[in-house]
Amino acid sequence: MLDQLGLADELAQHCFACRETVSYDAAGNQVDGRGWAFMEQMKDTAWDFSLVLRQKYQEEIFRHALRELGVELDAPQALVGLHVDASVPLGGYRVSATLESGTTVKCKYLVGADGGRSTVRRLVDIPFDGSSSDDRWVRIDGHVSTNLPKPRSYCAIESPTHGNVLWAALDHGATRIGYAFTPERQKAHQTFDEGAAVAEAVAAVKPFELSFTRVDWWTIYSVGQRVARRFSAHDCVFLAGDACHTHSSGAAQGMNTGIHDAVNLAWKLSLVLRRLAHPQLLRTYEAERRPNVEQLLAYDRDIARLMTLQLPEGWTGDPAADPNVVLGDVMAAAATFSSGLGISYAADGLLNVQHPTAPPSSPASSSSSPPPPVPRPGHRAPDVPLRKPGTLEPTRLHRETPNRAIFHVVVFVGERCSATVASYHAFCAALEASPFLLPPSSPRHASSAAAATPPIAFLTIPARPGPSAWEILGGRGPVGDGVDGVSSKVFFDSAEVKAHERYGVDVRRGAVYVLRPDGWVGTVLELERGEEAVKGLEAYFGRFLLRGRGGATARL
């Protein structure tokens, strides 16, 4: 997601790229397949590693990116009052936010991303359901000296006194140690200060040695899981991140989940604020994010107990099972969810639409191993290698589909043959005649075209390269080529035809994928149906988009 927002390259300049994990038992013996081992199995992305960069450094990069767009973040500010005027129509300035300084800010929408003790959540009277346990955890960052065999990795140490201990290599040469601070260990400290945090960290990583040459930060907190009863109020006040849900740091999902919230909500807000989509589109934010948050909390309840050497509540397996082994199984089962690569949204007949005439998956595969599942509506679109026309230099699908709050219609043309060329030409002709999907192409309508351009870009992907995209496409440019205000590009598939293969596209038939602005699949259509495929696109976008040359409005 951050890659498609144009932020990942700058994050990579400062991060620690962790590609290695290791686990040690209580005696210091290396054990395989436990702890963070799932991090070494990430697929379908160029970012197939853990990008480790502490939040304060990420936030500074985000602030700089905002400044380049002319936005200055003024924080922190204390919010003391919030009023929603229900008499103002949705989309108007119905929210009044009063700051501690006495200033009142009027806005159309307000997003509360103000942490677990959210003032916004309290002011709109949204309960925060859940509970906290008696367990207390400690996290401490700093520069260390150690005899741990692999200190610059993601490491789990199975301590009999401090639970499943986290050892994480961080950015800027730092290391994070995380451990359970049990009631038994608490007896040794009348007060818990930095010295106590260091002493317990030293004890937690035994039999390995540890000393801190510098402490950057430490914290102690109670473990619990909570979720807001509603993710919004009055259709114009939204909660995101810790304001919406809190949990342990056991699976390192806090900031990840908050970013998923922000990205899911932001593109929808952008379309609504630009009057390109119906305001009711914003209701899909909670519909999509809540099931994932609840799944995260369910995982977290189990992981939090296992990390303190307790079996999950309601455990029906072997009562003598080793919690460290069970933890490895749970984290492996949650691997794609924890990495974010497996986050999915249910079919809803609106944004995630399983079309009745979706193309059948291609059985072809260049690998002897079973192919991964073909991406379906509501699932993340895999990143795949592509080639630019002319130079044939490599690029990637995610690089060419940036998140600018626009949809991408990706047309997999397949092999060049009479059938696929005919299908593509029929599809293009029908689409270019659509009163909803493309603005007028006549130069005399240039201003009205710009005003009527829907938030849709087009990518055309032939299976094989050639000296001329025009020739490969059978004597025409890509769909929408030359239409004012429309982005339309051609990219060739890789030499191994990996893009068609990964998306399950039969190269003899082609397919049309709609990718949402956030990079998830919206719907899939058959290219060979030509005009019917275009009607499918019109039906899909007509559910929530407002703009079109024919004055079409969303049916939402």
Query: What CATH number corresponds to the domain at position 435?
Result: 3.40.30.20
CB 408 within 8 Å of CB 540: no
Strands, E assignment, 397-541: 407-414, 456-462, 488-490, 492-493, 511-515, 521-525
140 has which bridge partners? Answer: 177, 218
CB atoms < 10 A from the CB of 295, how many? 13
CB 278 within 8 Å of CB 231: no
Burial class of residue 169 in the structure, from the number of CB atoms within 10 Å of its CB (0-12 exposed, 13-18 middle, 19+ buried):
buried
Q: Average per-residue pLDDT in the chain?
A: 91
Q: Please state whether the peptide bond connecting residue 360 to the residue before it is cis, i.e. omega within 30 degrees of 0.
A: no
Backbone phi, then psi, for 78, in 5-degree steps?
-95, 120
* Rounded Cα gap, residues 438 and 261, in angstroms: 31
Secondary structure string (H, E, C) spanning 136-183:
EEEEEEEEEEECCCCCCCEEEEEECCCEEEEEEECHHHCEEEEEECCH
* Rounded Cα gap, residues 494 and 500, in angstroms: 9
Half-sphere exposure of 410 (CA within 13 A, CB side): 30
For residue 212, is it within any domain? no
Give the pLDDT confidence score for residue 359 in this predicted structure: 72
Ranges of the chain whose pLDDT falls below 70: 251-252, 357, 360-369, 440-452, 547-556
Q: From its phi and psi, is residue 44 left (phi > 0), alpha (psi between -120 and 50) or beta?
A: left
Dmax over Cα atoms in the chain, in whole Å?
A: 81
Backbone phi, then psi, for 6, in 5-degree steps?
75, 20
Half-sphere exposure of 231 (CA within 13 A, CB side): 22
Backbone phi, then psi, for 186, in 5-degree steps?
-65, -25
For residue 199, is it within any domain? no
Under DSSP, is residue 543 helix (H, G, I), strand (E, B) or coil? coil
Give the pLDDT confidence score for residue 550 in this predicted structure: 38
For residue 220, is it within any domain? no
The helix (H) or strand (E) run that includes residue 397 is: helix 397-400
For residue 423, is it within any domain? yes
For residue 324, is it within any domain? no
Give the pLDDT confidence score for residue 335 in this predicted structure: 78
* Rounded Cα gap, residues 365 and 500, in angstroms: 10
For residue 529, is it within any domain? yes
Domain interval for residue 495: 385-542
Give the pLDDT confidence score for residue 553 in this predicted structure: 53
For residue 495, is it within any domain? yes
CB 212 within 8 Å of CB 195: no
Amino acid at 261: D
107 has which bridge partners? Answer: 95
Give the pLDDT confidence score for residue 552 in this predicted structure: 46
Amino acid at 373: P
CB 503 within 8 Å of CB 509: no
Give the pLDDT confidence score for residue 442 in this predicted structure: 46
456-462 and 488-490 beta bridge pairing: parallel
The helix (H) or strand (E) run that includes residue 426 is: helix 418-432
Q: Any idea what DSSP says for residue 343?
A: -
Query: What is the per-residue burial (b if ≥16 Cβ within 10 Å, else e) of 405-440?
Result: bbbbbbbbbbbbeeebbebbbbbbebbbebebbbbb
Structural domain tally of the chain? 1
Give the pLDDT confidence score for residue 183 in this predicted structure: 86
CB atoms < 10 A from the CB of 253, how many? 24
Angle (CA) 353-356-360 rounded to 5° is: 100
* Rounded Cα gap, residues 378 and 441, in angstroms: 32
Give the pLDDT confidence score for residue 463 in this predicted structure: 97
Identify the sign of the CA torsion 51, 55, 57, 58: positive
* Rounded Cα gap, residues 282 and 273, in angstroms: 11
Amino acid at 189: H
Give the pLDDT confidence score for residue 452 in this predicted structure: 65
CB atoms < 10 A from the CB of 203, how many? 16
CB 243 within 8 Å of CB 112: yes
Give the pLDDT confidence score for residue 58 in this predicted structure: 96
Q: What confidence tens digit (pLDDT) does each residue in 415-458 have? A: 998 889 999 999 999 999 998 898 765 443 444 445 568 999 99
237-239 and 110-112 beta bridge pairing: parallel
Under DSSP, is residue 417 helix (H, G, I), strand (E, B) or coil? coil
For residue 456, is it within any domain? yes
Q: Residue 381 is encoded by which pair of tokens?
A: 């679109």
